[in-house]
Amino acid sequence: MTTIEIIGFTSAFLTTFSFLPQAIQVIKTRDTASLSLAMYSIFTLGVAGWLVYGLIKQDAAMIVANMVTFVLAGVILSIKLYNEFNQRSESKASAQSAVIDC
């Protein structure tokens, strides 16, 4: 392994696993209220693009890093979307209940 590859894999490891604490917290608490849906949507699509680019270039560091990041960001995004959908459903049900009660 060359020095450049070591730098690439080390950097990929650090940036990829920086998502692990956030993913663990979201999985444990299911709390996504302070997370931006737009940011995680755009970010996850961007990571998917980097993964495709890495596959085309056959760059192992880029492939592994973006594959792991895509999974972690995808989990966070999925929980965020689930929470957003449930929150809207509950708000709609509460509003309908309030109208019926009047």
Contact 70, 51 (CB under 8 A): yes
**Rounded to whole angstroms, how far apart are CA atoms 63 and 55?**
6
Q: What are the pLDDT tens digits along the chain (102 aa)?
A: 899 989 988 998 898 889 899 999 999 999 999 999 999 999 999 999 999 999 999 998 899 999 999 999 999 999 999 999 998 877 666 656 555 665
Helix, strand, coil tally for the chain in percent (to 5): 85, 0, 15
- Domains present along the chain, CATH in parentheses: 3-93 (1.20.1280.290)
Count of beta carbons in the 10 Å neighbourhood of residue 13: 14
| Statement: the pTM of the whole predicted model exceeds 0.95 | no
Contact 42, 1 (CB under 8 A): no
